[in-house]
Amino acid sequence: MYVAVKGGETAILNASALLAQARRGDPAVAEIDTAQIAGQLRLGVARVMAEGSLYDEELAALALKQAAGDQVEAIFLLRAYRTTLPRFGYTVPLDTARMAVRRRISATFKELPGGQVLGPTYDYTQRLLDFSLLAEGGAPDAVPGVEPLPDTLPRGTDLLGEEGLIEPELPLPGDPAPTDLSREPLGFPADRATRLQNLARGDEGFLLAMGYSTQRGYSHTHPFAGEIRMGEVALEVVPEELGFAIGIGGITVTECQMVNQFAGSASTPPQFTRGYGLAFGEAERKTMAMALVDRALRCAELGEDAASPAQQAEFVLSHSDNVEAGGFVQHLKLPHYVDFQSELELVRRMRAEAAQPQAAEEQTA
């Protein structure tokens, strides 16, 4: 039976009420609070902050709670909130060399100043379900004494730079202000600063697939993880009335510098090139994938063919945003019956026309 879409308002209100009920789940089980989410689901919160483009652990935790754990929905909630916020100014660029490092590893040098710092990582856990967590686990064991880390650690890639073995990372001539993708539309060709901004907000799953494709022969870039570091960096602004930088706080970020082979060209001696990834919070998988995609997207600048999907900037950058993609894929559930009716009318007419000559043939036969 056909039920016309009428009384839409009541239906919408009822759906909201059902959603609230479903989100809460069994009221006999204690409600989760945002401090628990921020404290105990911190990696989920980090992804929401990174792709939601807003560093606020409490609001990201709230978004995750409201979205019942759906990360893409939580990212959308945070973005829609962020867009209403006034903008006070821009910080000076983060200096990750001055990061208070909690994790720093390099796959290119066995030993480097400051050493390899594993930090809190899943890397060498054996992926066995820990059934003790089913019960309330209590406080974990204290971390055995380790040497305190120096305040700052030099970046692994800087060691290559001293020998001229890796391309220098220099501002563009005139050091132009980067595009702000949250205020200006993406245009093509997009410069590297714009591309990196897009990738930093991009969907982790999409970047992972794109980065992975470069490892499987779709534009192989011979990557090495030059350095991955995670920790706290200072935020600084230069107030107009002071004229010098003052600290306004700090955030956790993860940075990945991939080192990639490059044969050199007529104008450039052989040297290593870089792919770069940076994201809010602990986001190692995302920043590694981002660095692979960044390097692949530099193909034109480095004189390489742009034959693979990950090298095609318009393809990658236009499809990386999960708020855009999620909305448009799911808009197909909105009514399209006017368009469908139009197609139906045409298909029926064409079928009728196709049947006519056939019928005529049968008559003459």
Partner 1 sequence: MSATGYNFAYLDPQTKRMLRRALLKAVAIPGYQVPFGSREMPLPYGWGTGGIQVTAAVLGRDDVLKVIDQGSDDTVNAVNIRRFFARTADVATTDRTAEATVIQTRHRIPEAPLAEGQIMVYQVPQPEPMRRLEPREAVTRTLHALADYGFMHVKLYEDIARYGHIATTYDYPVMVNGRYLMSPSPIPKFDNPKLNRSPALQLFGAGREKRVYAVPPYTRVESLDFDDHPFSVQRWDAPCALCGADDSFLDEVVLDDAGGRMFVCSDSEYCTSRQHAGHTGPASNNMASARLGRGPASS
Q: Please state the closest distance from residue 9 (CB atom) to partner 1, in A.
A: 5
- Residue 278's CB is within 10 A of a number of other CB atoms, namely 22
C-alpha of 277 from chain center: 10
Q: Which is nearer to partner 1, 87 or 110 (CB)?
A: 87
Residue ranges of alpha helices (H) inside the chain are: 8-24, 34-40, 42-52, 57-66, 71-82, 156-162, 192-201, 204-215, 284-297, 313-318, 322-330, 337-364
Show Cβ contacts of residue 237 under 8 Å, excluding neighbours closer than 6 positions.
89, 90, 91, 92, 245, 246, 248
Judged by CB under 8 A, the residue of 111, 130, 147, 353 near partner 1 is: 353
Q: Which is nearer to partner 1, 264 or 357 (CB)?
A: 357
Judged by CB under 8 A, the residue of 88, 124, 131, 188 near partner 1 is: 188
Show Cβ contacts of residue 275 under 8 Å, excluding neighbours closer than 6 positions.
221, 223, 257, 258, 260, 291, 292, 293, 294, 295, 296, 298
Give the binding-site size for partner 1 (rule: CB under 8 A): 52
Strand partners, 273: 260
Judged by CB under 8 A, the residue of 336, 355, 356, 360 near partner 1 is: 336
Judged by CB under 8 A, the residue of 36, 95, 349, 360 near partner 1 is: 349
Which tokens go with 162?
């001293």
Judged by CB under 8 A, the residue of 26, 111, 184, 305 near partner 1 is: 184
Judged by CB under 8 A, the residue of 27, 171, 173, 183 near partner 1 is: 183
Is position 37 an interface residue for partner 1 (rule: CB under 8 A)? no
Biggest CA-to-CA distance, the chain: 98
Using CB under 8 A as the binding rule, the residues of this chain from 309 to 328 that contact partner 1 are 314-315, 318, 323-324, 326-328
Judged by CB under 8 A, the residue of 26, 27, 86, 93 near partner 1 is: 86
Is position 6 an interface residue for partner 1 (rule: CB under 8 A)? yes
Is position 334 an interface residue for partner 1 (rule: CB under 8 A)? yes
- Residue 116's CB is within 10 A of a number of other CB atoms, namely 15
Is position 297 an interface residue for partner 1 (rule: CB under 8 A)? no
Q: Dihedrals φ, ψ of 102, to 5°?
A: -110, -20
Q: Please state the closest distance from residue 119 (CB atom) to partner 1, in A.
A: 33
Residue numbers of the site for partner 1 (CB under 8 A)? 1-9, 11-12, 76, 79-80, 82-84, 86, 182-189, 314-315, 318, 323-324, 326-331, 334-339, 341-346, 349-350, 353
